[in-house]
A and B are shown apart, each in its own frame.
Chain A
Amino acid sequence: MNAHVQAPAAAVKTTCPYCGVGCGVLATPDGFGGAGIAGDSEHPANFGRLCSKGSALGETLSLDSRLLHPSVDGVRASWESALGTVAGGLRKVAEQHGPDAIAFYLSGQLLTEDYYVANKLAKGFLGTPHVDTNSRLCMSSAVAAHRRAFGSDTVPGCYEDLDEADVIVLVGSNTAWCHPILFRRMVDARAKRGTKLVVIDPRRTQTGEEADLFLGLKPGTDTALFSGLLVHLASAGALDYRFVLDHTTGFEGALERARSIAPDIAATAAATGLSDADVGAFFALFTRTKRVVTAFSQGVNQSAQGTDKGNAIINCHLATGRIGKTGAGPFSLTGQPNAMGGREVGGLANMLAAHMHFAPEEVDRVRRFWSAPRIITGEGMKAVALFEAVERGKIKALWVMGTNPVVSMPRADAIREAIKGLDLYVVSEAVADSDTAMATGRKTVLLPAQAWGEKDGTVTNSERRISRQRSFLKAPGEARADWAIISDVAKRLGHGEAFAYPNAAAIFREHASLSAFENNGTRDFDIGAVSDISDAAYAGAKPLQWPLTKRGARDGKQRLFADGQFFTFDKRARFVAVQPPALAQAVSEDFPFVLNTGRVRDHWHTMTRTGKSQRLSAHRDVPFVEIHPDDAAAMGVTHGGLATVSTAHGTTVLEVMVSGGMRRGDLFAAFHWSGATASEGRVGALARGIPDPVSGQPELKATPAAIAPAVYRSRGFLLTRDQRSLPAGWWWARATIQGGSGLHFATQESSREVALMLRGMFQGLEIAEYADHARGRYRFAAYDGDRLVACLALAPSEAKPGWESEKAYFAADDLEPSARRALLSGRAETASAGPTVCACHGVGLDVIAATIAAGAHSVEAVGVACKAGTNCGSCIPEIRKLLPQALARDAA
């Protein structure tokens, strides 16, 4: 394994780079390029807790597959030459086609300082408005809903509201998996004060399993449910008339529209596919409970009507005045570690900077602040349109920073094709083998960027809290900070003065100054109090919550809008009359299913980091599609078998998970797998991604799709110390395992042919085999002395071999004879741990089941006995399902 070279050092306080919860992390470099990872007990987001992903950060620090040197068209280049190529290419495109032939595609992974500099260069100095970011795919509908309702992109509440609420409504959010630390706060609140959890999701996710009330509504009908709720609140007399009257406008119109969509409980139930009883129970609970937080994430946002969904939710909170108060408010749970920071600097195509947009006075203000004569004056293209413009050849130069659109964008296959036509394709990246870094334009420049643990700056989490990401590892190879890379290109383009940043702190000061510049309370985002922060104070800064005005309290404000003062010109919030719910694309005979996409518990985005961790790769190790049992039977697909899932835009081959938690007619697939991790697992390529007309956020939760069995002669797995490739035509999925790399595969080759291939692949090693070719069974192990360096098992597809015990053998350095024999026979030597449930402690299903069988009849008792569920707790729902009570209930 490659590793950073560095002496051990004291623990460094930093921030987790995964979801928008923004947990504090203590990283202690071990001197071998890794670091011990612990939760920061002083961080107000997590108070010392970490989820499975955060806990495994130490496993993601290796330099394997890191991009370490600049390259131009695949040839290693000096920074000088690479930056020259970028600057020259940008200048040429601007001269020949105008500056708006240039686009930047940024990332919620960038630090605020990087984001700020990129945004400033593009919008202020290159003069292109086409700066968008992967946050567009994540929460731009929430941004749009906030802006429509509040006049500003403001999250009104804070995490403490989750501790203080009596009802938490989770809409389109698998919080238990995607924001596990917040979910633990909710579960703690339930234990402490009896908080009720309502989960609204077409899928009964792990979060749904934990709900007091689960509403498994039809895809895309959230608006109907919240319209019905608004009507119900009005007719039940539960409105806060004072608040509505004094601090809002548009209530009547919104209510009228809501009535036309869902006039009563029965109509709501009919529109959403829920029972009258469930709808009634939800409405009653919401109506009678003052402290309600409605938390929403991608299920709401990633929709062609995402902005309306957000506003339908916010309408209910405005109508009841439940906003900005302790334990009450609408709450957008952000996906990315710094989506909020990106929003703050304005790194989206429909923003200018610092929560300012394109009113003439705003443009003028930013122009003066930046001294940027070429400042843009209007919105640019949002992600989907931006890449469509690449396809059409309107964008000639694209600079992608820290994200993997070739995997994560809808119609990802088309985007990979489109990139080939770019005159200049620049990728600033930490990872060398991402699909995006592997893509090529006519001129392709790869720039090695610093990764988490190396870079230094700030991020903002879902509750407006700015925390430091600190460097605790030396940057490897020639990797540099993104802001430094961008600034160097700016200098080469003649903007040296505006980009003469000595360090990240200087950028932060400028950013903070801009937020306060001619603000006077007109803009929500104001961190003027830290605009003169010293380098030393920045280095040691504790987490800060904004707004943080020069005149205000130094520790910011927890909540906004309880005073009814919004950031519209009249200071009133807006009710929004939402559109009736309808999916952007109807299912058809050819594509009769609705494909929903999302995440799994232990992977992050396109797996470029979590994919390095064997613990995180154990929970779900192949790209999969979930389907209702009746649909599976009707379509002839079986649990564990492979299925072709296709849409008008792409085709994948995924492993089938038959799940009672699915609605009939729906499919679910996780989007994490890329060309680097699976042969045909690029789920992003399936989505049509019709954008929301307001936010531009593409629909990723409802693409018409077809499913059919994918028939392969044999299934199997191959475990190797180093990464190996399988021949074209094989289906495969890669997962990191302890001590190496694992491939699940399917093939049409006979076991005899596979045996020949394997012997060729591992020539020179000692080979152990079991071959029963007449039955299509083959198992293989290659040893270097006593050390197992590869093993494979192959069987007819219907007898697909599992790999749990083999993975355990692979983790060992030397194998006992009994283990070597078990490896060949595929028979248990001793009991294996079973599929991993608790990723933090690596506890398998069988171990937990055995623990329960031995008398541990509660989650706590299981935790005491085998540690499962005692760290991040995100597996607790799965553990609970294994308890005797749950099993008895399921059997009943």
Chain B
Amino acid sequence: MKERLVVIGNGMASLRFLERLTERAPGAYDVTVVGAEPQAAYNRVLLSSLLGGEVDEAACAFRGLDWYEAHGIRLITGAPVTQVDRENALVMVGETHVLPFDKLVLAVGSLPIRLPKPGMDLPGIITFRDLADVAAIRKAAVTGAKAIVIGGGLLGLEAAVGLARLGVDTTLLHVMDRLMERQLDHHAAGLVKRAMESRGVRVLLKADTAHVEGDGRVERLVLSDGTVLPADLVVMSVGVRPNAVLAQGAGLDVGRGIKVDDRMTSSDPRIFALGECAEHRGMVYGLVEPAYEQAEVLSRHLVGEEAAYPGTSLATSLKVSGLPVFSAGLIEAPEGAETIVMSDPGLGLYRKLIVGDGRLLGAVFVGDIAEQGWCKTLIRTGEPIADHRDDLMFGRVHAPDSQSLAA
């Protein structure tokens, strides 16, 4: 009899894992996937585009139900797992399913954080995490509505742009002095802010939400400096925390997330975790790229190949509503390192390289991120960059006779 593999969660990490697993060893396992959302895995990255009406729901879909069927995967949707019983090797879905497993993969993602401030439970305050959230936001985002998005991270920015695109009067609040402060330096963050503003989003920095008020529904948001902002809709996007509830209940080692080793194995050798719920070498990732790398490693591991996940270098490449942004490694030069900067705010163009001992330590690009892959490689390998400084800054030139700056 085939080993029974149960996968909890049907997000992007889960699907990538299933794809790789079935490619490598079709039918090696008896696979059951349980997802809490009513749909099969979809492209969460497109949620903001969906919110803004740039794409429809169909465009977000990845694999049809027939794909799961064709690959012998039992897919159970709309089924939030309630318990993992390690002793009996069972996964419980409320009272509806009891799924025995030989191996278990936890790909349960993360949970949006709600600010612990008064009034945050009022109707009209919506997180931005899944299709249901998008539907709720779109419903509330009627013409003339005033929306506030709390949180100047990537998701918050995208939610705000999506709302603005719908014609909603949108204000983005961020408690820090710059947007995406973990990925971007001040200058890059300024460009992103400018891009947001050009898309119709009002951005308030150092905006600390004190509480939300309303009579049975959100009506206004009050900042700690006393500013009152009228609001018909508040989108909460202040971050996520790994969803470790099940693992905790099951007695697995849990830090911020479910602790895994380089083979994505938890403290129980039968149980694995990947994606945003996993904590690897103390790191918790909130982006799709590490999740995909982890899915790759785990799929190899489960078919008996040698594979180890070394962690993903801290790189962020993304498009903030059409504006390409890339950040890798350090974003500020440490003592003794140099900085090379190019900036043309009018073009929405910014590049910063941080160089120490002739090696690339970090890069922040906005507007044109063509050399991002190269930068990541150089940061990872520590190869000397003396010959590449201009190419990294201005782009690789293919014409043999092009002039260098020194010409």
Contact = CB atoms under 8 A, between A and B. Distances in A.
A358 to B, nearest CB: 63
A122 interface: no
A281 to B, nearest CB: 44
Given A766-B346, A786-B346, A828 B403 contact: yes
Contacts of B393: 770, 772, 825
A771 B354 CA distance: 12
A384 B404 CA distance: 50
B346 A825 contact: no
Contact of B347 (A771, A795, A820): A820
Contacts of A795: 405-406
Interface residues of A, number: 27
Contacts of A767: 345
Contacts of A770: 341-343, 393
A800 to B, nearest CB: 9
A781 B344 CA distance: 8
A817 B342 contact: no
Contact of B344 (A801, A824, A827): A824
A777 B407 CA distance: 13
A657 to B, nearest CB: 19
B402 A783 contact: no
A826 B340 contact: no
Interface in A433-485: none
B394 A768 contact: no
Interface in B360-407: 389-390, 393-394, 397, 402-407
Given A770-B393, A772-B389, A773-B338, A825 B405 contact: yes
Contacts of A495: none
A276 interface: no
B107 interface: no
B352 to A, nearest CB: 10
Contact of B402 (A774, A777, A824, A828): A828
Nearest to A823: B344
B403 to A, nearest CB: 5
A769 interface: yes
Contact of A768 (B340, B346, B403, B405): B346
B91 interface: no
Interface string A778-791: 01010100100000
A799 B406 CA distance: 5
A170 B343 CA distance: 56
Contact of B342 (A766, A801, A802, A825): A825
Contacts of B405: 777, 779, 795, 799, 801, 825-827
Interface string B328-368: 00000000001111111111010000010000000000000
Interface in A814-833: 817, 820-821, 824-828
A820 B346 contact: yes
Nearest to B407: A802
A774 B344 contact: no
Contacts of A779: 405
A288 to B, nearest CB: 52
A772 B347 contact: no
Contact of A821 (B340, B345, B349): B349
B389 A821 contact: no
B355 A774 contact: yes
A821 B346 contact: no
B338 A774 contact: yes
Given A773-B338, A774-B338, A821 B344 contact: yes
Contacts of A772: 338, 340-341, 389, 393
A680 to B, nearest CB: 26
B404 A827 contact: yes
Contacts of B342: 769-771, 824-825
A313 to B, nearest CB: 47
B307 to A, nearest CB: 41
A824 B403 CA distance: 13
Contacts of A773: 338-339
Contacts of A821: 344, 347, 349, 394
B402 A827 contact: yes
A512 B26 CA distance: 114
A801 B393 CA distance: 17
Interface of B: 338-347, 349, 355, 389-390, 393-394, 397, 402-407
15 contacts: A768-B344, A770-B341, A770-B343, A773-B338, A773-B339, A775-B389, A783-B346, A799-B406, A817-B347, A820-B347, A821-B349, A826-B404, A826-B407, A827-B390, A827-B397
4 smallest beta-carbon distances between A and B, as pairs:
A768-B344, A825-B394, A774-B338, A799-B406
Given A768-B343, A825-B390, 5 more contacts: A768-B344, A770-B343, A820-B344, A820-B346, A825-B405
